[in-house]
Every structure is written in C-alpha cells, then in structure tokens.
Chain A
C-alpha cells in the first residue's frame, strides 16, 4: 500500500518533466516549446487592445498553473501554462469578462484553479476566521482594560 502511494507520488514528477526539459531547451533553441511546437497564439504575445490586455493580465496572475503547482500561469514557462494564457487572452479578446473566463475554468478544474477562492460553505471559515479572531481579541482586551481600571 505504501509502495503504491510512493509510485503515485512519482507521477506528478514525470508530468512535470515537461517543465524541466523546457527550461533546458530554452537555453539552446529558438522560441519553440519543449515538444518542438511554436507557442500558441497569444501565449507570449500581448493583445493589441491595452484595456483587454490589462484585464487578461490581472486574471492570469490569479490562475494556477496546473502542472507546476504553486505558480500562476502568468509566471510559468510550462507549455500548458502557455496554452492557458492563450485561452484566457483569446476569450477576453472575444468579449468575455474576466469572471466568465474564471468560471469557465472553475467548471472544469474546480476552485483549485483559482488563487482567488470564491465564498462557499467550504471556504467560509477562511473568510470568517479573521473577523471572529479580531472580535475575540477586542473582547479580551476590553475585559482586561476594565479590570485594570477598577
């Protein structure tokens, strides 16, 4: 059972080798992807309309690169991140709003794909915890100040 888990842990690693080979080939080769394909349209090219590009850039900074977890797609050199940037820019250019594109991706990958998690029963404690802790702190502070004044 444990051995099997370890095997399973190897998988994401193999899937990420794409990222590593990319970095290696980048040093030698002209701009093509690890698999020798040129990058997708608008993967590394800005949209002609600056307002749309700004909207796309802001969105891309909050979307997770699924193969190099922990990075946003705007920061990642992975081929899949490039393809996701291409998708985001083309959808924004076609007139979709940033929220529509985010919802489209959430419908496919779940909340995991966004770094800006929506309020839901699962994330509610995350949003409420700071408020509750702050109120608790105020309550303690009030009680102890009152005691000192006495």
Chain B
C-alpha cells in the first residue's frame, strides 16, 4: 500500500470539516432571486384595477425612461412597511409603476388612500401570471427597468430606509 494513501481519509475529513464550519458561520441566503435580471421584461398587457389610473403593459416599461416596477398587494403586510419608502422615491422624481397581485379594486383603493399612492400605473394581475413571468416569488418585490425595458436590478422584500439610496442610484445609472 502506498504511504500517502493512509492520509487520504484524514484529508477528506478535513475538507468536510472546513466546508461545514464555513457554511455554519454564514447562514445560507434563502431568498429566491429572479433569473430575469439583465433580460427584457416579457410581453404582457394588464388591465387597470382602478378607474382613473391606467393599467400596465410591457410597452409602458420601454418608453425611454427608466422606471421602478413594484409588485405588491393590499393584503401584504410588508407592503405597508415599504409604502413610506416608495413615497420617498416618488418624491425624488422616480416614476413607479405597479402590478397588483390577486387583488380587488376596493381593497387597492383603500390601501392607496391609507398608505399613499406612489404609482403612475397599476396593472391587475388576477392570477399572478405576470408575476410568474417576471420570476418574482412573492410580494413585495421591486424591479428597476431601464428605458429599453431591460430589467437591471431586483429588490426582494420590503424596501427599508437603507435600501432607498441603492434603488435611486440604480435608477439613475439606468438613464
């Protein structure tokens, strides 16, 4: 038997231990990200959910100006938490469109009255089909879309105060 083979089990064991310790020290990121970042927004055309506010189509997202696309719902708790941050982004002059997931006109109207309305357009995604085509796995999520309709950034979860600057920066860079 060759001498060095004796050390092989110990070497394998060391590799396993190093791997385990490293993974235990930094817990894995369970966030499900969209694989659509860097690709064009897929074709869709959603009817309006509110009277007096237009619906949303893929064409609206490649009109030359970068925009934020917010995936939200009136029944979603973190969406309430991010509402003030969206109002801040709107106050910075950033246009924001929205896709409302599995929602109703009365519930959305109430939600926007209570928490502020940062949206230029709100599309009615009754069965999450546009959400699925965007690779979004929950609400709220926010996409930064450049003027040609290419998704340049995805923010998963509610927008916190500390995330506002990064989103505004991504929007500015997309111009």
Residues of A within 8 A of B (CB): 5, 8-9, 11-12, 14-15, 17-18, 33-37, 40-41, 43, 66-67, 69, 79-80, 83-84, 86-87, 105-110, 112
Contacts and interface: CB of A to CB of B under 8 A. Distances in A.
B35 A14 contact: no
Instruction: Classify the secondary structure of A's interface with B.
Output: helix
B35 A107 contact: yes
27 contacts: A5-B27, A8-B157, A11-B158, A15-B78, A17-B77, A18-B76, A33-B102, A35-B73, A35-B102, A37-B102, A37-B103, A40-B127, A69-B30, A69-B32, A79-B128, A80-B137, A83-B132, A84-B128, A84-B132, A86-B129, A87-B129, A108-B134, A108-B135, A109-B32, A109-B35, A109-B137, A112-B32
A40 B36 CA distance: 24
Contacts of B73: 35
B111 to A, nearest CB: 12
Interface in B101-126: 102-104, 126
A11 B75 contact: no
Contacts of A80: 128, 137-138
A130 B135 CA distance: 33
B34 interface: yes
B139 interface: yes
Interface residues of B, number: 31
A109 B154 CA distance: 13
Interface of B: 27, 30-36, 73, 75-78, 102-104, 126-129, 131-135, 137-139, 156-158
A84 B33 CA distance: 17
Given A15-B157, A66-B32, A109-B135, 18 more contacts: A5-B27, A9-B27, A11-B31, A12-B31, A33-B102, A35-B73, A37-B126, A43-B127, A66-B137, A69-B30, A80-B128, A83-B129, A84-B132, A86-B127, A107-B135, A108-B35, A108-B133, A112-B32
Contacts of A109: 32, 34-35, 135, 137
Contacts of B27: 5, 9
Contacts of B129: 83, 86-87
